[in-house]
Amino acid sequence: MPRKVEKTAAEWAELLPADTFQVARQKGTERAFTGEYNNHKGDGEYVCACCGDRLFDSRHKYDSGSGWPSFFQPADGVEIEEERDESHGMVRVEVLCQSCGAHLGHVFPDGPRPTGNRYCINSASLRFKDREEAS
């Protein structure tokens, strides 16, 4: 069972940079091709910008051309929470951090093998840890 991190909106707003708060806590979306990790090529792990839990591994990252960091699966052993999202006149699957409920982005069934999934994630919801630091 994952740990649960619970804070009020005011507590999150005090702890997080404004862009991270707007995206991760208020279900915002950064503009395509503007995020810090869209073209990022480092070797390591991407963790939740709110609670620090592991989310994605750079070995599962690929260039989808969408303008957001894309992964074909979460990091090994990581469960990502999914919810139906009917906002903006679309039906999508929202992905959230299982520990703190942070909005990460959406998952689409148009990714590469082996999963066929594209986890389209906002850079503002992530922090990168170099593999040497992550171990």
CATH number assigned to the domain comprising residue 40: 2.170.150.20
Q: Is residue 36 part of a domain?
A: yes
Domains of the chain: total: 1
3-state secondary structure of 75: coil
Q: Is residue 129 part of a domain?
A: yes
Reported as a single tens digit per residue, the pLDDT across 47-87 is 999 999 999 999 999 999 999 999 999 999 999 999 999 98
Reported as a single tens digit per residue, the pLDDT across 9-35 is 999 999 999 999 999 999 999 999 999
**Residue 1 pLDDT more than 70?**
no
Q: Which active-site residues does the annotation give?
A: 120
Q: Is residue 4 part of a domain?
A: no
Higher-confidence residue of 111 and 133: namely: 111
The Cα 84–Cα 13 span in angstroms is 25
Q: Read off the pTM.
A: 0.93
Domain that holds residue 121: 9-134
Distances (CA, A) of 68 to 73, 99, 106: 15, 22, 11
